[in-house]
Amino acid sequence: MGAEPLPSRGDAPPMPVHVAIIMDGNGRWARARGLPRTAGHRQGAEAVRRVVRAAGEMGIGTLTLFAFSSENWRRPEDEVTELRGLLRLYLRNEIGELHANGVRLRVIGDRDQFGPETVRLIEQAEALTAGNGGLQLVIALSYGGRAEIAAAARRLAEEAKAGLIDPSAIDEDAVTARLFTADIPDPDLLIRTSGEQRVSNFLLWQIAYAEMVFSDTLWPDFDRADLEAAVAAFRGRERRYGGVTD
C-alpha cells in the first residue's frame, strides 16, 4: 500500500508536473545477493516498468529517467554491452504497451553513440507515440548536463557569429530554447535512489528550482509506494522560488 499523500501547505502544488529520477543502486542490489551487476540492471528494468505505470496512474505529466550517463561509457565493456542490449529489449518489448496506455516516449542525449540499430528503434518508438496525450516518458541516454549546456552555448555562439542573434539578446530563455528539453517543463521533483545525495551531472540547468528527495531504496526495489512517498514529501514542502512568505 502506498504512502498517504500529505496535505499541501501554502502555495505548494498538489502534484509535481515533472518528476525526474536518477536510478541508482543496481550494482549494489546485485552484489548484496551475490549476483553479477548485469542481474541488477535486469531487475532495474522491471522497476522502470513499475514506476512508469505508477506515474501514469498518479497523473504525473512528465517522467524523466536517467538511464545512461555520458560517463557510463567508462564502465566495463561487458556491462555496457548488457545495458545496450537491455535498452533494445525495452524498446522492442515495451513500446506496444506504452503506446496502448497513451504514453509518449522521448529520448534525450547523444543517441548516436548506441549505434544505428538502437537509433532506428528509438526513432520508431518516438514516431509511434508522438501523438499520445498521456504520460510523457523521457529517457536520458548518453546524457550529461554540462555537455548539454556547452552544446547550447556553441549553438548560440554560431548563431551570433552568423548574425542570426544579437549577443546582447542572449538570456536564460535563449539558452533554454537550445537544450534537449526545450519544449519540456523543468522538473518540479528530483528523486535519487540508493541513498546517494548528489545530482551526477543530470539536468543541471533544468533542476534549478526542483525539490529533491533522496531515497534509501535501491532502484531495483523502487516501486509505487516509494514514488508516492517522494511525491508526498514534495507536496508537504513550501516552494518560494527565492521569495518570502508570511
Residue list for the binding site for Mg(2+): 24, 211
CATH superfamily to which 18-144+187-235 belongs: Decaprenyl diphosphate synthase-like (3.40.1180.10)
| pLDDT (0 to 100) of residue 246 | 52
pLDDT at residue 114, rounded to an integer = 87
Residue range 86-135, pLDDT digits in tens: 889 899 999 999 999 999 999 999 999 888 999 999 999 999 999 999 99
Does pLDDT of 1 surpass 60? no
Q: What is the DSSP string of 33-71?
A: TT--HHHHHHHHHHHHHHHHHHHHHHT-SEEEEEEEEGG
**How many angstroms separate the CA atoms of 86 and 212, rounded?**
28
- Which residues touch 49 (CB under 8 Å, ≥6 apart)? 94
**Which residue numbers are catalytic?**
24, 72
Cα–Cα nearest to 44, from 73, 11, 66? 66
**In terms of Cα–Cα distance, which of 186, 14, 197, 100 is closest to 6?**
14
Q: Which residues contact 18 (CB under 8 A, 6 or more apart)?
A: 60, 61, 62, 63, 64, 184, 185, 186, 187, 188, 189
**Whole-angstrom Cα distance, residue 181 to residue 4?**
32
Instruction: Tell if the pTM clears 0.85, that is, is over it.
Output: yes
